Amino acid sequence: MQFQGRGIRLGYSGVYPLAQAVLDDGVLTMDTITATPEATTGNAANIAEFRRLYIAALAHSFAHDPEYGYAASKTTPEALADKMLPSLVTGGANKDGAAIRMVCKQLGIKHTYTAMRQYFHAA
């Protein structure tokens, strides 16, 4: 279990800078100040639809896009989607991949954090 705050992360091994945490495990998540329950949840149906399209887009990218070669060798589209979705909902993930662009295009939303956040939280 790990707890996060501004600029540091507390794990079982102690406190270390957030930049080192990113280098260690390659994951940058929102901190406890900005990741409120309201910011990390959304419309379940919209999130499920985004996930479904994202898995299909990742599968396509794994098969046809050399930029996804490393990810394809390490994980599955489903596992990657499940890892990325919480950060996408909060606006903390990198949105510049081809798979995210494909999903946004299919949903008819702009490829921006604001548009994705509005989609995830739409009633």
Q: What is the pLDDT of residues 53-75, one digit of tens each?
A: 999 999 999 999 999 999 999 99
Residue 105 predicted with pLDDT over 80: yes
Please give the span between the terminal C-alpha atoms of the chain, in angstroms, as a whole number: 32
pTM above 0.85, yes or no: no
Q: SS3 string of the chain?
A: CCEECCCEEEECCEEEEHHHHHHHHCCCCCCCCCCCHHHHCCCHHHHHHHHHHHHHHHHHHHHHCHHHHHHHHHCCHHHHHHHHHHHHHHCCCCCCCHHHHHHHHHHCCCCCHHHHHHHHHCC
